[in-house]
Structure 1
Amino acid sequence: MAERAGRVPLRRRPAWAWLRLLRPVAGLSLAGVGVSFAFILAEGAPVWDEALRVGVALFAVVAAASAMNDGVDRWHDRDAHIWRPLAADLMAPRNAALLAGAFAVSAVVIGASLGGRALLPLLGGLACAGVYNLQLRSTPFSWLPLSIGFALVPPFVAEAVGAFDNYLWWSLPVGALGGLAAHLAMKLPDYERDDVVGAQGVMHWMTIDYAVPMSWGLMSAYLVVAVVSANIERWRIEWVVPSASVGIVVTLAMMTWSVFGVTERKLVWQRWLFSLAIAGMAIGWLGSIVP
């Protein structure tokens, strides 16, 4: 159906541009995972303002990283992602830079309010976002910042609620694999649009023929390491089995569906399904190993 005469579509409105720039779905998803971690680590009874600050801080990190990403990519996006706010001239680059700075400062202030030990992994996450956007995004090491950043989420939340323990060191291998699997899942649908001269991200370095099966392999490795580490620490079947089962079903479903050909639409479905499965497995893993 055609747009009404004189009516500005939502996607062309400045307010929508500001919201779109922040990647609210990604930010709210990470905030939800962080708050879930806070409830698990505090045995279902966290201090409400600590849990709230955890969620807001994680949302702010994603918002800052997203605004910076669009600012750095604005020239490339005019050809590949014209719907993004800066590429569509719905927002000035200066405003995006100010927004990125404001959310980064907000994340630091909120992190500091949770204590110095909580601030350190949060600063690590912000540093990962900056290094990715400014240095590594077009290199074979483009996967590294998200792997490190995802692994830092459990220690950040644990320090924020005063519940860090040695078993959380498992978050390093589990989180690193989860972040790597998430990176491939999120970037694969954009493979052709981002396939330009000079693009040497990990997917273009491997080529699409290897990147797609690699995403399945990494998802499988993430599930295996999460389940094995949960078994080594404390096996709680009610936590780990449902989340691992969802991850297994999703991975097998995408592998089976892709036998009939890999398309951008299928990779978009994989992006959403893998992202949900990775988040769910992280929650199930933590719920299983917490004393």
Structure 2
Amino acid sequence: MSSESRSLLGTGRPSTSPRVWSALLGAAHPGPALAVTLLAAAFAVSTGLAPGRAALVTAAVLTGQLSIGWGNDLLDARRDRAVGRTDKPLATGELPLPVARFACAGAIAATVVLSLACGLVAGAVHLGCVAAAWAYNLGIKATAWSWLPYALAFGGLPVFVTLAAPGSGAPSWWIVAAGALLGVGAHLLNTLPDLADDEATGVRGLPHRIGARAASVLAVAALTTASVVVAVGARQVPRPVVALVLVAVVALAGLALVARGRVPFRAAIGIAVLDVLLLVVAAG
């Protein structure tokens, strides 16, 4: 572990100024954090969790995502400075390291408390999901197994939400499988914009090893397979709705495979959105 990661949490409470708050938000990877949190919230509501329990689940996921985002930027601060990442507040100096360390430590503590408040088993599952994401940040992202933490975390998320309901069992296998496939697709799509910067600093995960074009195709394949898995498993969803979604997915997949530029990326995002909607509806 690097000296940067060893000093991740730091000591003492740092002071902040008003302008630091926007930088702190930017370092939390707000887009992915919000997307995963909203997915958990929607899944919690669709599965019939009581409002208080659904809010608790959502809060646990949010703090976990914040810790992952801040931890990522703390661990990557030197790499981001080396490649001139002006979109990274820690790399530009806009966000002081002590502030980020304090926020990250607080998010980790809150995640533990909130997760276990959802139940010991459910909490352990969620903490396992967060640990998988941290393992990615700490080095797995630079290996051919970079997809695995995403698969485990996204596959475990519906398990956590379902088990948070008192007396509830684990979700159906197809929900977990679809979540894992969605995670693999999310990893590939999330990595594509940063392939060059990652390569320049020695990070070579699966997408870097197979190349941008192959990674795009694999992302489309994973997301399309997730659609099929949900369509097969979600027998309670009206068949016309499932058929309509699958037609849209096939159309987007075809577009992603033949188009160039940013179109394949946007088409894959479209498939991911349809997967999430279908998964949430199917869980109800």
Q: In 2, Cα distance between the equivalents of 1:93 and 1:248?
A: 46
Which of 60, 64, 67 pairs up with 1:61? Answer: 64
TM, length-normalised to structure 2: 0.84
Q: In 2, Cα distance between the equivalents of 1:286 and 1:61?
A: 23
Which of 38, 51, 60 pairs up with 1:32? Answer: 38
Q: In 1, Cα distance between the equivalents of 2:242 and 2:169?
A: 19
CA gap of 1:40–1:197, structure 2 versus 1, over 3 A, is closer
Q: In 1, Cα distance between the equivalents of 2:265 and 2:92?
A: 22
Paired residues for 1:1-291 under 5 Å: 13-42=19-48, 46-78=49-81, 79=83, 81-162=85-166, 164-165=168-169, 167-196=171-200, 198-231=202-235, 234-237=236-239, 240-241=242-243, 243-256=245-258, 258=259, 261=260, 263=261, 265-266=262-263, 269-270=266-267, 272-287=269-284
SS in 2 for 1:194: helix
SS in 2 for 1:193: helix
Q: In 2, Cα distance between the equivalents of 1:230 and 1:217?
A: 20
Superimposed CA distance per residue, residues 176-204 of structure 1 (whole angstroms, 9 cap, x where no aligned partner): 11110111111112222222253321011
Superimposed CA distance per residue, residues 218-277 of structure 1 (whole angstroms, 9 cap, x where no aligned partner): 22212112212224xx45437645554554443333334x2xx3x3x4466356434423
One-letter amino acid of the counterpart of residue 253, structure 1: L
Aligned residues: 266
Q: In 2, Cα distance between the equivalents of 1:219 and 1:66?
A: 23
After TM superposition, the structure 1 stretch with the greater mean CA deviation from structure 2, 196-205 or 128-137, is 196-205
Structure 1, unmatched stretches of 5+, are 1-12
One-letter amino acid of the counterpart of residue 121, structure 2: R
One-letter amino acid of the counterpart of residue 214, structure 2: Y
Q: CA deviation at 1:96?
A: 1.6
SS in 2 for 1:140: coil
CA gap of 1:95–1:247, structure 2 versus 1, over 3 A, is farther
Asked if the contact 1:247/1:274 (under 8 Å) is kept, the reply is: yes
Q: CA deviation at 1:146?
A: 1.0
CA gap of 1:166–1:72, structure 2 versus 1, over 3 A, is closer
RMSD: 2.4
Q: In 1, Cα distance between the equivalents of 2:240 and 2:129?
A: 31
CA gap of 1:159–1:199, structure 2 versus 1, over 3 A, is same
Partner of 1:5: none
Q: In 2, Cα distance between the equivalents of 1:14 and 1:167?
A: 41
SS in 1 for 2:92: coil
Q: In 2, Cα distance between the equivalents of 1:224 and 1:271?
A: 15
Q: Alignment identity in percent?
A: 24
One-letter amino acid of the counterpart of residue 162, structure 1: P
Superimposed CA distance per residue, residues 134-170 of structure 1 (whole angstroms, 9 cap, x where no aligned partner): 1201111111111100011111111112363355233
Superimposed CA distance per residue, residues 48-91 of structure 1 (whole angstroms, 9 cap, x where no aligned partner): 11111111111111111000000111111121522111011111
Structure 2, unmatched stretches of 5+, are 1-18
Asked if the contact 1:61/1:107 (under 8 Å) is kept, the reply is: yes
TM, length-normalised to structure 1: 0.82
Q: In 2, Cα distance between the equivalents of 1:95 and 1:271?
A: 36
After TM superposition, the structure 1 stretch with the greater mean CA deviation from structure 2, 165-174 or 265-274, is 265-274
SS in 2 for 1:198: coil
